[in-house]
Structure formats: C-alpha cells, structure tokens
Structure 1
Amino acid sequence: MNIPKTRETSDVRQGILDVGQRIMAAKGYSAVGLNEILANAGVPKGSFYHYFGSKDAFGEAMLESYFEAYLGDIDRTLAQPNLTMAQRLLNYFDLWQDTQSFHDCQGKCLAVKLGVEVADLSEAMRAVLMRGTAGIADRLANAIEVGVAEGSLTITGDPHDVAQSLYQLWVGASVMVKINKSVKPFDTARAITRQILNLP
C-alpha cells in the first residue's frame, strides 16, 4: 500500500517535533543540538532543513504543536460528562500534577520547562508561548464562568482574573516542585485553588 506523499511528509515532520519535544522537555532548549534530535528521530540533517529553516523555526513549530495537543487535552478534561465544572477543574489540576512533576514528563511539561529560557532567546517563540498560555487561561475562565452559573463553585472577582491567578499559581508551583524535587508545592497550590473557588 502506497502512503500518500502529504501524509508521509506530515508523519516525518511530526516525528521530528515529537522527538525534539521529549528531549528538550528533559534537557532544555539550548542544551540540545540538532544532531541529537536527528539521531533520535532517525532522519538525516537534510530532512530537518526541508521542514524547518532553523533551530528557532523548529522551536516555534514544536511549541505550536505542543500547545495544540495541550489545549485539546484541556478541552476533553473540561467536557467530561456527568461531572460538575468544579470537579472537572479539579481533575484538570490533578492532570497538571501528574504531567508537570519533577519526574520524566515525556515532553508534557514543555511550557514550564522552556518558558523562561526561550522567551529570552526568540521573539517568535515568546509569541507562541503567549498565545498558548492565553488559550489555557481563556479555557479556565470559561470553565469558571460555567461553574459559577451552575452553582458548583463561587469566586470573588472577574473570572478571567481568577483564571490567570490560578494558572500563575500552578506554573509557580511547577517550578518549585522541580527545585525542591517534592510535590508539596502542588499540595499547597491545590489547597489555595479550593479556597479561591470556594470548594469544601
């Protein structure tokens, strides 16, 4: 069976992105060279430059791919059936803890791992980070609005401000988890989250 050229091209490109995401989530952006990515992806250097004009262009595409998948995961979590929105939000933060810990995150903690580093290196990558994190905050704000309307949670203030505060709380907790190599900051973040949402 012949694979259509466009699908084959898409698969190779995505394969390079997936490998790069996994390695850079573990080591950081600057510490990883193209040769390491290409060796692990099993593709020649010429193939890399066929899909990406530079390492920074690769980084931009990798972050876009990461956020596309991440936002899809959020949408599924916040649409789980037979649960209140408060329960769905807590499930989202449980998932955050599972994927953003100091253990090997298999590329799922990319924004936390690379955020500060690449924001100073590339304006294009910083812009992708801004759009991606704004998408997360928007989804949290919409969920909070639904939760307030259905009565499963209450807040003080604007839902978007609360969502932004929660996101920043959990990003900070993720950094401290990595520094301390302990999940205690997540326990604190979860307790504060319950307070902010007025959950028992």
Structure 2
Amino acid sequence: MNGKTRNTKQHILDIGYQLVLTKGFTGMGLSELLKSADVPKGSFYHYFASKEQFGAVLVEQYFARHLAAMQQIFAQPNLSNYDRLLQYWQKWLQHNSADCPHGRCLVVKLASEVADLSEAMRQAFLVGTEQIISTLTGALEQGQRCGEYQLSDTRHCAEVLYNLWLGASLLVKIRLDDSSLQHALQATAQLLGKQH
C-alpha cells in the first residue's frame, strides 16, 4: 500500500470515527461520511467492501490504539504496578468524562448497537475486549509477583474491573456527570489496595 492509499484509507477511518462517536454507527450515513471525508463513493469501496467491513476495521483500529496506550502506561519503569494500573484508570476517566462531548469509548458507544446487527463487528469487539482483559490480567499478575497485592484470581479481577469501568462509562452518558467514574476509581483503588 503506497503512502497516498494509506493516507486516504486512514482519512476515511478518522472522519468515520468522529462521526460514529457523534451519531452512532447506524446513524452515520455513508453519503455523510463520504461528504465529510471529501472522497468519492468509489474510493470508499476501493478500501472497504461494505459499510459493515468499514465498521469492523474501525473497531479493530480503535482497540489497536487502546492497547498501544495501555502498553505504554504499563511499561513505565519508575512506577509500581499498582500506580501503573491506577494511572490507566485515571486516563480512562479523563477520556470518558462528561466533559468529552461524545465520550471516547467505542465499546460503550457501539457494542450494544451493532452486536445484533453485524457479526463482523461483534467479533471485532469480542477480540478487542478479550485483548484488553488479557492485558489487564498480565498487569495484575506482574503486580502479584512483586507482592504488591494478593488476588485469588487475576483473570476474574481483570474482568470485574473492565466490567465496572464499562458500566461506569455508560452511566456518564445517562447522568451527564462523572460520579460513576469517580466511584469506579475508588472501588478500583480499594480492590487493588496494596498489601503492607
């Protein structure tokens, strides 16, 4: 793929991401996407076989970016494992707060909307959420090995935390405030409370 091709495809994905955050997947018309991206219909179908395939690629790219950001946080050498995990959740809070006009979590925005409509997108969400939970599990195991906390089941804890934060992010959209995220941060700190 040459530079121009990659740039055009990425431009369509970037514009689509912003539209999806605002309008949802079904609410974003293809003609609106093409007009906003200033590309002809043929260009879209050159890169994507369908709107559904475009959606699956959008979801995959979202998770790739999210996972890269997680890895960057968890690789910081001067922080304890506990502090790295709390930093990850603090960043989650910042990016999903009521101050963000449409929120940033694509799982909260789209998963319930598209899971019944598109198997390809449901699978992309399934793979991506599993990768996040596995990455969290690895971070918890590392902290456990260092003796920072005692957890009977790191995988279970990772799932509980991810579920907690997804639910809290959804409540932000309903309540239009950050109280649920603040409660999630407190519950996370308590759950991961360092052993002394």
**Which band: TM-score by shorter chain?**
over 0.9
Q: Does 1:195 align with 2:193?
A: no
Letter in 1 for 2:52: D
CA-CA distance at 1:192 after TM superposition: 1.0
CA-CA distance at 1:105 after TM superposition: 6.0
Residue 143 of structure 2 aligns with which residue? Answer: 147
CA-CA distance at 1:106 after TM superposition: 7.2
Instruction: Please show how residues 60-79 of structure 1 align to structure 2 within 5 Å.
Output: 60-79=56-75
> TM-score, length-normalised on structure 2?
0.94
Q: Could you tell me the percent identity over the aligned residues?
A: 42
Runs of 4 or more above 6 Å deviation: none
Q: Does 1:23 align with 2:19?
A: yes
Q: Does 1:168 align with 2:168?
A: no
Of the candidates 38, 44, 47, which is equivalent to residue 34 of structure 2?
38
Cα distance in structure 2, aligned partners of 1:31 and 1:63: 16
Of the candidates 76, 79, 86, which is equivalent to residue 83 of structure 1?
79
Gaps in structure 1 of 5+ consecutive residues:
none
Aligned residues: 195
Of the candidates 163, 172, 181, which is equivalent to residue 176 of structure 2?
181
Letter in 2 for 1:96: W
8 Å CA contact 1:170–1:189 kept in 2: the answer is: yes
> TM-score, length-normalised on structure 1?
0.92
RMSD in angstroms over aligned alpha carbons?
1.6
8 Å CA contact 1:22–1:107 kept in 2: the answer is: no
8 Å CA contact 1:23–1:107 kept in 2: the answer is: no
Cα distance in structure 1, aligned partners of 2:4 and 2:102: 24
Q: Does 1:119 align with 2:115?
A: yes
CA-CA distance at 1:163 after TM superposition: 0.2
SS of the equivalent of 1:62 reads: helix
